[in-house]
Amino acid sequence: MPTARLTLDPAFRIGSVDRRLFGSFVEHMGRCVYTGVYEPDHPAADEDGFRTDVLDLVRELGVTVVRYPGGNFVSNYRWEDGVGPREARPRRLDLAWRSVESNAFGLNEFMAWAGKAGVEPMMAVNLGTRGTAEALDLLEYTNHPSGTTLSDLRRSHGVDKPHDVRMWCLGNELDGPWQMGHKTAHEYGRIAAETARAMKRFDPSLQLVACGSSNAHIDTFASWEATVLEHTYDFVDFVSLHAYYEPVGGDVDSFLASAAGMDRMITAVTATADHVGAKLRSDKRIKLSFDEWNVWYQSRFAGEHALDWRPAPELIEDVYDVTDAVVVGSLLITLLRHADRVGAACQAQLANVIAPIMTRPQGPAWRQTIFHPFARTARHARGTVLRVEPDSPVVDTARYGEVPALWATATHDEESGEVVLFAVHRGRGEPLTLTADLRAFPAARVREHLLLHDADTTAANTAEQPDRVRPRPVAGTRADGGALTVELPPVSWTMIRLATR
């Protein structure tokens, strides 16, 4: 049986686990909002129209921050349409997803929902078809206490206290020609810098995210970040990254190695940001906001031009299987392995649209396979990310070359003493024997060992079988003689919690 080794030692650290790494994304797209998080006539709806079954799953998922309202949607959005009396709100064409937006759910509804879900809001402003003035109006309406036209307008809408949103995205994917208001890097860098400068005049403590590239394969990747950051470096705190993964052409080995692509993208954007900082003689370090990531079978999507201007159409409602869950687990490992620079991340999206949570209108809500590695990682990855360098056999892939079969990281919570190991076996052949050196934790004992694996890697969860795929406890795992040895089945995700005192 192939073998792999790694060492866990608290002396070797990457950085602290930022709780914002476990973010999600709610966009006015498909059924994410309507019949997803919001369905007033659902049997489980509360007094605000929010589905309480979905709220329960969101809390279980462990989401910490949610980006809103887009996404492509935001680049043609007028925030004013979604506030005030519902009966007076206009119906608009959403040019991004060729649907009709009722605006029944808007800014204040989202903030009320976020409060019930216990998540931090991350707001995006429209820098596609609008600009600095409209962004400042939204900021005043949202964050100013009272005594001005827009803050008092919010209060007249029944929201006395400001929402106090701390993190703001300066537009969305404006490098992409599919975006309303698509811009060159210079055009976007200029308006982003002016908007950021003005928003910081309102409140210097705001945390602002500049648009990075929409993917790592677009022709302007890296040069876009370099130009944008030369304009905005002094005013922003983050640059965004977006990436989606699927088995292109049925290449499952490369798909299982998707984390290698994410790893390279993070490294490239970090290097680009630091290069700009060096050119500007700045001591500041820009952090990364990986605020769109997930498995998305884009090859199945006919494109927005196939849509026919319906309200909340069914749209990219991918059903996820075991392999998809293992890939999501490996992507979470990658985000943790870059905890020194990735300060926020949002899995896209939260409900129905390429989502960990699925719903039926008037019906049930359930957990997709990808729900489980996210929920367990969000719950147990705390404290400090340890520098883990596995010695592992390799898998040969067409897209990324040779990658380690074992992809792993670990966290150490000094307060509780708990060490948590997260590991993925990306190979599809034999099981892998993993030995973890625990000499730095001589009192370590196994508290919990969970495994997500199935002989049928295409197994999925449905409304009829909502728990077909889930992590299952592994009994009998022990740490003996300063080492932990476990068998990892092929195409599997594993979490082992260790008490160290």
Q: pLDDT tens digit string along 148-199?
A: 999 999 999 999 999 999 999 999 999 999 999 999 999 999 999 999 999 9
The answer to whether residues 8 and 438 touch, using CB atoms and an 8 Å cutoff, is yes
pLDDT exceeds cutoff 90 at 303: no
The answer to whether the Cα torsion of 76, 79, 80, 82 is positive or negative is positive
Alpha carbons 210 and 240: distance in angstroms, whole number = 6
Crossing angle of helices 132-143 and 185-202, in 10° steps, is 30
Between helix 52-61 and helix 107-117 the angle, nearest 10°, is 60
Q: Would you say residue 493 has pLDDT above 90?
A: yes
Say which residue, 8 or 501, is predicted with more confidence. 8
SS3 call for 137: helix
| pLDDT tens, residue by residue, 366-418 | 999 999 999 999 999 999 999 999 999 999 999 999 999 999 999 999 999 99
User: What's the pLDDT tens digit per position in 85-106?
Assistant: 999 999 999 999 999 999 999 9
Confidence of residue 59 (pLDDT cuts 50, 70, 90): very high
CA 334 remoteness from chain centre: 12
Residue 240 and residue 229 in contact, taking contact as beta carbons nearer than 8 Å: no
**What is the reported pLDDT for 355?**
98
Look up residue 276 and give its two tokens: 């700009």
pLDDT at site 221 = 98
- Secondary-structure class of domain 3-10+385-499 per CATH: mainly beta
pLDDT in tens, 121-140: 999 999 999 999 999 999 99
Model confidence at 481, pLDDT cuts 50, 70, 90, reads confident
Q: Are 374 and 398 in contact (CB under 8 A)?
A: no
pLDDT value at residue 386: 98
Q: How confident is the model at residue 302 (pLDDT cuts 50, 70, 90)?
A: confident
Query: How far apart are alpha carbons 329 and 472 in whole angstroms?
Result: 15
Whether residue 501 is predicted with pLDDT greater than 90 in this model: the reply is no
Residue 422, strand partner residues: 409, 495
Mean pLDDT value across the chain: 97
- The per-residue pLDDT for 259 is 98
232: CB partners within 8 A, 6+ apart = 170, 189, 192, 193, 196, 210
Distance of CA 240 to the CA centre of its chain: 11
CA distance 190 to 180: 17
Residues with catalytic function? 173, 292
Domain boundaries, the chain: 3-10+385-499, 18-380
Q: What is the pLDDT of residue 90?
A: 98
Q: Give residue 406's pLDDT.
A: 98
Residue 305 has pLDDT above 90, yes or no: no
Two structure tokens written together for 254: 């490369």
d(CA 183, CA 79): 21
pLDDT at 1 over 90: no
H helices present in 76-202, as ranges:
107-117, 132-143, 149-156, 185-202
123, 136 contact by CB (below 8 A): no
- Evaluate whether the domain defined by 18-380 bears CATH number 3.30.2010.10: no
Which percentage of the chain shows pLDDT scores above 90? 98
Confidence of residue 306 (pLDDT cuts 50, 70, 90): confident
pLDDT at residue 324 tops 90: yes
Tell me if domain 3-10+385-499 and domain 18-380 are identical in fold: no
